[in-house]
Structure 1
Amino acid sequence: MLLPNYSGLLLEAGVDEAGRGCLAGPVVAAAVILPPDYKHAVLTDSKALSIKQREMLREEICRDAVAWAVGEASPAEIDEINILQATFLAMHRALEGLQLQPEYLIIDGNRFKSFKETPHACIVKGDSKYLTIAAASVLAKTHRDELMCRLGQQYRYYGWEKNAGYPTKQHRTAIAVHGASEFHRHSFTLLPKEQ
């Protein structure tokens, strides 16, 4: 069972991202404030859940959360400022989108760029320890997967509706044959270097 709260403060937001390791599409972050007594038997790290579970949880989180928001940083921004800084930018955009100002932030991972004056803690594997971070991981992943599915309708050969922009063999073969799209991250190694 995941823990409901880290700081003991009422308005604690969990923050997580999706899509850092992709070759295409934005990096997406979500911020979620849950009720302090929130409990959930299924909610955990989005990577450990089925697509059906994530979709069901997405609806429940959006309904039950005190506040939630999603933020993105585009492939062009990733290329300009690098993936780490773009991840922080997406996280900040998600936090700015919250209708309530959180008193404390818990971030999945080991690095974060301070947001305003809000105190924060970075928690490695936080999405499998705290409900708010798990909720943020579900919202970030479902939002991004849905976006990549839509883009996959425009660019069918990359298989984005299945690989969500990650570097699968099919994705890399399509880049080799058709070239990169405007949604690819050109600062990433899109094709393996020849030996």
Structure 2
Amino acid sequence: AGLKKVTDDMKTHKNPTLRQGPKPFKAAAPQTAPKPGKPAVQAPAAAAKKPPVFELQDKRWAIEYQEGNKNIEVADTNLKQTVYAFKCNNCVIKVKNKLNSITLDSCKKTAIVFDDVVSSLEFINCQSVQGQVMGKVPTISIDKTDGCLIYLSKDSLDTEIVTAKSSEMNVLVPKDDGDFTEFALPEQFKTTWDGSKFNTVQTDIA
């Protein structure tokens, strides 16, 4: 008498949904530590642009970090002074009178025009540079330079040209009519063993 009446909506054979038990328990997947993100790659800071220099330092004319200056002129020189141009880009340097030596180091698209040098004209680590001697220069040195054009004068045809690790080197020799004839300096060499020593000769690039 104490039992409750079972109505039709409580009968499982009339309500199939009542036969569906709760979904089986599934253990939660273990939590994994979040993968650390890749640190942001920071672009290297651009090197601070250095101010141009053009001054006489003791016995050396320092011409440094010049950009696009076509009117650099060194006029007050003597035999004890030198000219040192460093990291000049797209410049023209004119040197008057006679001095000891001239060096272009790490310059690009830069030309040097000078009268007379007692010692040497040197190009080191340069790209697309030019040199023109109006008087005499005993020695021209081209080292680790790609693209070098040398204009000789009639008084400097006996100059010695020393090259190392360089390419695209051309020397222009003056003709009687004032024009120039261009000659390419050798860049390629062939070495053979003759049984007692090595012999090296220059080879023409095809």
Same fold by TM-score greater than 0.5: no
TM-score by length of 2: 0.19
Normalised TM-score (structure 1): 0.20
Higher strand share: 2
Q: Which has the higher helix share?
A: 1
